[in-house]
Structure 1
């Protein structure tokens, strides 16, 4: 098998790390187990609630250092049903995340779902988001909300993923983590948490680098996150959240055709080397949150944020295509974005008709201002460099939303929860590059929607809660999708309509014992004006609306403690995602207009038929640790025609470690093996790739060793 010639972590890096692990394993000391606390979530109701008492599908996963690389969000979400989070092994592109089939169409970035960090949107007003700045080292937990109540977060609300940074701790803690292994993966991090008088803090810096499993896939990421809280008095608190991430020159190996994958899964398409495909991203963000308890019934929360993100990306659009098409925007993307906004929320909690009642009302405003420039990716006969200007435009999108959400326990065994959100989303584009064959593409468009939701929960027994909910959703096309018109005319594709969905869900949540939880949910979402590909020509993808689509399925989850320090976790999702009306699409490279019929019932690409996860975990706060897990993925269609698909797979993993106290230090040593059977599988897909390079291979058997040190 061909091996990458790029830089990789050599044995001098591995030997000291392995030595540190062996030294740590040689010691041991006693420690007290931490008390087990019941989880709470805020994403569904915007106030702290037990997920067991919420009439919606919502899960929370804690994110302490746990013997993983702690770089990709996908590492933390495997056990949650309904969500597919794929590590693409490509840091020039963000992770792929979809919820119940929403967001599966995205070829880059994350669409169709809402993303937040500490209440600060990571999804822009047009519905496109990214998670490259999510800092797992400083995180406390991740919450995932699925189903109708996601609509209360606005545009692109197929689901909500929210990461929460941990508060400062008393006594203070210092965390130092080092991990490394196969494919040149190496991560170091330093995290400090503490409380000084009225101020608590959580500050983290981390470094990650990889040589990549495939050729031409090396990357480096530097990130930092800080959360500073100031308790002004017993009723008021001010929190500052700072975040930065820098990804310089991450190589993009592109996808492979099926034949290329079968011949050598570590190779890249030749154009990746020819044009040196790569991407650099640099982002800084700040958020300020003010919480005030006005009285026993009323509270106020004000959040404001601002950030900027610069992206430079070199694509593999052929020189001949750029020369032949005057309207082509070139193979180099230079994008500068400033974004910001805020959210003001008032919460009243008291009684209504003698029963507990709570209502939260608020307004939200988000604004994104982009300067989008494009250049040729050649200069003379030199390829993969910045050439002549081909695009210069100012894009702006902003939303202004109003929302209200209420929870009313109308009887001892019954709770009602409902809400409504009105969204206005405004797009505008000013074209500053007008030349022969490239007319003025300026334009404006506005979208609006009102999305009500309603749910009911019945406490059938102390150990069984039954719920049902219903709602409507709303998703506009993103700026990336309105970038070109399918008819090749001037202007942006403001003729695209937003997708509107009708969502239903019923489920049961079980807690037969204090340490056993289970759940099952049945769901259906019918969408009008689903977005699908219309054409693929010369590196340009245009989109069209499909009249109707459907996503329906079942989710199950189970979590129990079989014996002291022995836990079993399992989840399974079956999803049927399909187009419900026929349409025409392109079936060949360079297709200028849709000409191939797609019959009703064809599966929506990017959405696997089934996903599953199971793990047997042993370990407490100290001593020996171990996990054996399996992750399964059903077949995944890769194009609208359904003519190709990525095969399903099952991957096994094994980890082991030892945790002990040495004076003021807690030492967590660990080692992990992924893909134990060394299977060649397709880890992620590039939906509707115009060149048929749909497949992104996952690594074979890979190893990780590391140590996390905590000083108290």
Structure 2
């Protein structure tokens, strides 16, 4: 294994620790300056507070489309393995590759993120208010603790004014922090040799609350060559230093020694033998290994009833190795460090004429990737060095958000952000010359929205918002290797022609309650996109790397409808439907003119319906129906992945043996054994677009809590 040189730029790391130390020393000064503060502190209105408890669905007037899942809804998933089990039932939210743990889940919101060849990009993800989206726009969920979630909120549309780069949508995840002693054990056994064990312990001492969890997951997978294993340890500590000052520390370590990649199949291969892996993926031992640690510190200080200061510091360290199903540059070794800080001040009643809320913030982030690529020989044996470079990405931003209520029924939102992004490549493989370089972008974003309370229970809103996405380090891969490398080796540096993607979102919506038991949400949107980043492959069987280019102009328009119904005290019914018309306005490449074509990778129609029964004896039965429409697999729209219906069912019984509580759960996914494509590899070379999803899948879970 390559032992990397010094893993960080000393200057940036020094600055990080200085800011960290200053925050610790300055916080007591702030506290003692306000020693007479009322001990019964209250939260600022959470609508404009990024770092704070998320409001329930109907408690806000925010003029934007969003979805909210609370803890009872999340608890319906007894043994979650992927985020898709929670989010696939939300409008305009589409998840793929839930069974390919080497590629990671692909998440798209209103089409943002659909262009990713693997993993998550184009949307911002925060876990306990800590960004899990890198400065270059890639998101990583390797360490997400799905067993211990408190809530998930999804902002379904561009929000760069508040969240910065790669905020075509936002997913905010909050984990549980019990305020009393707790010991929990959960064991799961399922199809395809799936096994999962989870242990959590929490202890509360006066003003200190701390907990630790251990988890282990392993599975063979539905398809050949799709084995996966991961172990994780998480720890948290909450310290109420003073009534108005809370500190929270989180640490995590994960080790995933194996995550195999079965690869994509042609239509004929997928239909005839869906469990098969692509032959080259097996011969080249395609897959990945990951080790990662994460450490975060969050500080929340309440000055008085109307103002609050939040500060966060975070550090990620990741070692990543993978093997791709080709020879030239097919083994990647990556040593990554990512750290940053976010400081935010929120206040309300800033103007005396009417209620206002103001949020001011600053954000600094730094990413240091040391990347090496080697030839990948048959059997996954490492060959000669093909690339060695250091990729440095940093961002700095200032932002502000103003919310004003001219009347009890009318709310106006205004947000502004300036962000500087820099990408630098230091070429350390000089056999073919020096491809070092640097690119800088200055990006500004704004949002303007307004909502009006038609009645006490019904809200009309309209908003205009922007987003931008700089190219990720993966997307900046240089496609011009034959021009710069005499022997045809892997090209270093980055693609000098790839630019920032920008978008403007226009949206109107109506949500509310018909009665106390029946609620609805309707949104219509139009998104104008410039320089959309799109993946492509070269017509070269020896070069299967995914490259990217700007696709000119694109337009997305759609409708989102959802409803919730409560029938008596035992039955509830949820429904959602989204219509998505995403097309290229102008997109011409050497391979053809795709103007007017539908953007591949997302369904035009998507719907879900969920029926839940819960009785007074702690028995719950859940039935879910999911529909995903046809999806184009390439820019030319010559081939489609068929639509499908999936039916999932679950039953759970809680047994109370005070103080011990136990639960037994059985989950059946794909109840009627429907064939479907779990992932589409857009524009894949050789027509290998399809990754078949698993057949009927059973999961049995035993849980105990003390």
Q: Per the alignment, do residues 58 and 226 of structure 1 end up closer, same or farther by CA in structure 2, a change over 3 Å counting? A: farther
Alignment of 1:266-277 (within 5 A): 266-277=275-286
2:697 to 698, 702, 707: 702
Post-superposition Cα deviations, 1:131-175, rounded to whole Å, max 9, x if no partner, equal: 2211111221111112243542011111011211212223x2221
Counterpart of 1:626 in structure 2 is 621
Are residue 683 (structure 1) and residue 678 (structure 2) matched?
yes
2:612 aligns with 617
Specify the alignment match of 1:343 in structure 2: 342
CA distance in 2, matches of 1:511, 1:177: 37
Structure 1 segment 222-371 matched on structure 2, within 5 A: 222-318=231-327, 322=328, 330-371=329-370
Alpha-carbon separation, structure 2, partners of 1:85 and 1:77: 8
Contact 1:137 1:191 in 2 (8 A): no
Superposed, 1:360-439 pairs within 5 Å as 360-378=359-377, 383-435=379-431, 438-439=432-433
Structure 1: 5+ residue stretches without partners: 1-39, 323-329, 585-593
Pairwise CA distance, 1:499 = 0.9
Q: 2:356–2:403: 8 Å Cα contact kept in structure 1?
A: yes
Residue in 1 that maps onto 2:37:
none
**2:84 matched to 1:74?**
yes
The answer (yes or no) to whether the contact 2:185–2:705 under 8 Å persists in 1 is: yes
User: Which segment drifts farther, 149-158 or 691-700?
Assistant: 149-158
- TM-fit CA distance, 1:581: 0.7
Question: Is residue 160–residue 466 contact of structure 2 (8 Å, CA) maintained in 1?
Answer: no
Within the candidate set 572, 582, 588, 2:587 is matched to 582
Query: Is 2:48–2:401's contact at 8 Å kept on the other side of the alignment?
Result: no
SS in 1 for 2:84: helix
Inter-CA distance 43–186: structure 2 relative to 1 (3 Å threshold): farther
Given candidates 137, 143, 146, the residue that maps to 2:147 is: 137
SS of equivalent to 1:376:
strand
Structure 2 residues not aligned, in runs of 5+: 1-44, 485-492
- Contact 1:484–1:540 under 8 Å retained in 2: no
Aligned partner of 1:100 in structure 2 is: 110
8 Å contact kept, 1:571–1:613: yes
How far did 1:545 drift?
1.4
Q: In 1, Cα distance between the equivalents of 2:418 and 2:173?
A: 25
Secondary structure at the residue paired with 2:147?
A: coil
CA contact (8 A) 1:74 1:87 kept: no
Deviates more, 1:405-414 or 1:514-523: 514-523
Matched with 2:216 is 207
Give the CA RMSD over aligned residues: 1.8
Separation in structure 2 between the aligned mates of residue 74 and residue 43 of structure 1, nearest angstrom: 27
Q: 1:149 to 1:371 in 2, by over 3 A?
A: closer
Q: Distance in 1 between matches of 2:161 and 2:638?
A: 33
- 2:170 counterpart SS class: strand
The answer to whether 1:476 aligns with 2:470 is: yes
Aligned equivalents of 1:278, 1:652: Cα separation in 2:
30
Alignment counterpart, residue 503 of structure 1, candidates 480, 502, 505: 505
- Secondary structure (helix, strand or coil) at the match of 1:293 reads strand
What SS class does the counterpart of residue 189 from structure 2 fall into? strand
> How high is the TM-score relative to the length of structure 1?
0.88
Contact 1:244–1:285 (8 Å) recurs in 2:
yes
* Aligned partners of 1:67 and 1:706 also within 8 Å: no
Q: What secondary structure does 1:137 align onto?
A: helix
What is the alpha-carbon distance in structure 1 between the residues aligned to residue 482 and residue 442 of structure 2?
27
CA change 1:117–1:427 in 2 (3 A) is same
Which deviates more, 673-682 or 230-239? 673-682
2:571 corresponds to which of 566, 569, 574: 566
What SS class does the counterpart of residue 214 from structure 1 fall into? Answer: coil
What is the CA-CA distance between 1:567 and the residue it aligns to? 0.8
Post-superposition CA distance 1:665-691 (Å, at most 9, x none):
111111121112111111111112123
Per the TM alignment, residue 71 of structure 1 is displaced from its structure 2 partner at its CA by 1.9
Residue 551 of structure 1 is matched in structure 2 by 556
Contact 1:147 1:504 in 2 (8 A): no
Secondary structure at 2:304's aligned position in 1?
A: coil
- Counterpart of 1:12 in structure 2 is none
Q: Which deviations, in whole Å up to 9, do the C-alpha atoms of 1:158-201 show, x marking residues without a partner? A: 1011211212223x222111111111111110122342110123
- The residue aligned with 2:459 is 465
| Counterpart residue number, 1:175 | 184
Q: CA deviation at 1:345?
A: 0.7
Residue 432 of structure 1 deviates from its aligned partner by 0.6
Residues in 2 aligned to 1:517 and 1:500: alpha-carbon distance in whole angstroms: 34
* 1:692/1:139 CA distance change after superposition, 3 Å: same
- 1:75 partner SS: helix
The C-alpha deviation readout for 1:482-536, integer Å capped at 9, x for no partner, is: 1114585444213211011111110011123344321000011111111123542
Q: Distance in 1 between matches of 2:650 and 2:198?
A: 21
CA distance in 1 between counterparts of 2:438 and 2:165 reads 18
SS in 2 for 1:125: coil
- State the Cα distance separating 1:356 from its structure 2 match: 1.7
Look up the SS of the partner of 1:262 in the other structure. helix
Is the Cα contact below 8 Å between 1:57 and 1:521 reproduced in 2? yes
Specify the alignment match of 2:130 in structure 1.
120
Aligned residue number for residue 444 of structure 1: 438
Match of 2:192, SS state, is helix
Of 524, 527, 532 in structure 2, the residue corresponding to residue 525 of structure 1 is 527
SS at match of 2:552: strand
Q: Which residue of 2 aligns with 1:20?
A: none
Over 3 Å counting, the alpha-carbon distance change for 1:698 and 1:151 in structure 2 is farther
CA distance in 2, matches of 1:151, 1:214: 42
Aligned CA distance change for structure 1 residues 252 and 560 (closer, same or farther; 3 Å): same
SS of residue in 1 equivalent to 2:682? coil
- CA shift in 2, pair 1:540/1:629, >3 Å: closer
Among residues 70, 73, 76, which one is paired with 1:62 in the alignment?
70
Q: Deviation string for 1:222-278 (max 9, x for gaps)?
A: 123222110001110100011222211211101111111011100011111211112
CA distance in 2, matches of 1:308, 1:175: 29
Please give the alpha-carbon distance, in whole angstroms, between the structure 2 residues aligned to 1:334 and 1:307.
17
Contact 1:332 1:376 in 2 (8 A): yes
